[in-house]
């Protein structure tokens, strides 16, 4: 072959590209596949892509084109936030070099190391990260299943269910009754149902002041109970009643056609009934055989599955130890996992992970928002992610502290969503 100037420049450019690329020619980039573009999955995908300098090929599989946060969805019910303000898209992740596939992962072949898509196609992985959130346990509230979710919404996954519950609250007759069937432990966002009650009450106080709220609860105690009960007494006196397990709260069935809740043989009629069933790890975790009972056991250090070292499980689905199932926790776990995966695939260093969580709740809005919080720091031990100490708002705090606490939560919302989506 005669080298002319054009071929010489072309060859030289290719040669230079080979030298400067982060991987050696002929050696494929390591492949990480992430299932679920929520708090855990979006964060993990973003951190691996961002910190691996092109050495890792990251694919994110998520069916929804817009992720609506569950956090602050109660504030939308309370009339404090718009629905649109909860929505986030995946364009920023795609711009970061992540291959965003809007599809549903229907199966994992752990021997072949592939993920199958519902829409057709198979994606190979070197490491797989699963962060599919929760699914509901069938039969946990007799009379309720997914076909009843339009009559009795759960509103415990983000998006259309939250909008439906809001529309039902707005259509409620004057002086009507809202009933919540609260979930048993463990479930996503321990204070979530009680913040929801607070925000529904906030909405009623403004729009339907003679309406009533009944909580039917299988649990003896719940997160931030003293703070919520103090706040309900202060802001919504006489509006909220709770039936705990001592009075039949654990023996409940529903009739969506009649809009009734049977509490230990006593039939309660509701105008709006919010059923939050018992929960388990997302279905893909079960179909991949990575669960032990309802949840997926993981190693604390890197959130790797105790059943498959090439798979990591984050967020609500993981049985990791002391961290509550929250978006903050999932985001924190995702960063530890991303560091470990990057280290394993590119020979970079991993440091001992530190985890943290804070759950804020808004009890009352208005001129002086009444916000409270609970949180803790955690470290990885041989056995689990273990708490190293926590904090919680105090009853009787002054109004300024509560306003400041609410403001912190607003800053956190912006910080976590930009940490997830760029």
Residues that bind ligand FAD (CB under 6 A): 35-41, 61-64, 67, 70-71, 73-74, 104-105, 131-133, 156, 188-189, 192, 196, 282, 284, 314-317, 325-328, 330, 359-360
Exposure of 5 in the CB half-sphere (CA atoms within 13 A): 0
Q: Which is nearer to ligand FAD, 156 or 236 (CB)?
A: 156
Q: Which is nearer to ligand FAD, 231 or 327 (CB)?
A: 327
Least CB distance to ligand FAD at residue 296 (A):
11
Which are the contacts of 269, defined by CB distance < 8 A and separation ≥ 6? 177, 258, 259, 260
Least CB distance to ligand FAD at residue 26 (A):
32
Q: Which is nearer to ligand FAD, 143 or 159 (CB)?
A: 159
Least CB distance to ligand FAD at residue 20 (A):
35
DSSP label at 178?
A: E
Q: Which is nearer to ligand FAD, 260 or 387 (CB)?
A: 387
Q: Give the SS3 label for residue 27.
A: coil
Q: Which is nearer to ligand FAD, 62 or 271 (CB)?
A: 62
Rounded Cα gap, residues 303 and 299, in angstroms: 5
Distances (CA, A) of 245 to 181, 206, 221, 251, 282: 12, 31, 10, 8, 27
Least CB distance to ligand FAD at residue 27 (A):
29
Residue closest to ligand FAD when measured from CB atoms: 38
Q: Which is nearer to ligand FAD, 118 or 266 (CB)?
A: 118
Least CB distance to ligand FAD at residue 151 (A):
19
Rounded Cα gap, residues 118 and 104, in angstroms: 5
DSSP label at 314?
A: -
DSSP label at 260?
A: E
Least CB distance to ligand FAD at residue 104 (A):
5
Rounded Cα gap, residues 211 and 176, in angstroms: 5
Q: Which is nearer to ligand FAD, 192 or 218 (CB)?
A: 192
Cis peptide before 186 (omega within 30 of 0): yes
Least CB distance to ligand FAD at residue 108 (A):
9
Query: 327-346 and 399-421 helices cross at what angle (nearest 10)?
Result: 30
DSSP label at 255?
A: E
């Amino acid at each position: 072959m005669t080298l002319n100037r054009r071929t010489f420049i072309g060859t030289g450019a290719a040669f230079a590209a080979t030298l400067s690329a982060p991987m050696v020619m002929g050696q494929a980039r390591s492949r990480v596949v992430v299932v679920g573009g929520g708090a855990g999955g979006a964060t993990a995908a973003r951190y691996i892509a961002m910190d691996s300098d092109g050495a890792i090929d990251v694919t994110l599989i998520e069916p929804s084109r817009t992720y609506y946060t569950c956090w602050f969805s109660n504030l939308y019910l309370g009339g404090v936030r718009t629905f649109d303000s909860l929505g986030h898209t995946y364009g920023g992740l795609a711009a970061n070099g992540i291959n965003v596939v809007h599809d549903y992962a229907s199966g994992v072949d752990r021997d072949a190391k592939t993920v199958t898509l519902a829409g057709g196609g198979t994606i190979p992985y070197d490491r797989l990260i699963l962060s599919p959130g929760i699914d509901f346990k069938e039969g946990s509230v007799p009379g309720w299943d997914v076909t009843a979710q339009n009559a009795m919404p759960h509103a415990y996954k983000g998006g259309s269910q939250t909008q439906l519950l809001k529309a039902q609250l707005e259509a409620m007759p004057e002086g009507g009754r809202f009933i919540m069937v609260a979930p048993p432990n463990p479930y996503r966002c321990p204070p979530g149902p009680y913040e929801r009650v607070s925000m529904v009450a906030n909405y009623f106080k403004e729009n339907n002041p003679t309406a009533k709220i009944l909580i039917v609860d299988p649990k003896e105690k719940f997160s931030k109970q003293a703070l919520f009960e103090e706040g309900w007494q202060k802001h919504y006196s006489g509006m909220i009643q709770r039936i705990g397990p001592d009075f039949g709260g654990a023996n409940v069935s529903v009739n969506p056609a009649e809009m009734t809740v049977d509490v230990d043989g006593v039939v309660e009629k509701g105008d709006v009934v919010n059923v939050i069933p018992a929960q388990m790890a997302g279905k893909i975790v079960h179909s991949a055989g990575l669960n032990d009972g309802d949840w997926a056991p993981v190693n604390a250090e890197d959130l790797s599955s105790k059943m498959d070292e090439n798979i990591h499980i984050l967020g609500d689905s993981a049985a990791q130890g002391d961290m509550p199932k929250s978006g903050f926790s999932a985001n924190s776990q995702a960063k530890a996992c991303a560091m470990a995966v990057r280290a394993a695939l590119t020979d970079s260093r991993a440091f001992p992970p530190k985890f943290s969580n804070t759950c804020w709740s808004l009890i009352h809005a208005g001129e002086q928002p009444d916000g409270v919080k609970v949180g803790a720091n955690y470290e990885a031990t041989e056995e689990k992610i273990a708490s190293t100490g926590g904090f919680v708002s105090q009853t009787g705090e002054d109004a300024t502290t509560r306003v400041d606490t609410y403001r912190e939560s607003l800053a956190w919302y912006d910080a976590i969503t930009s940490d997830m989506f760029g």
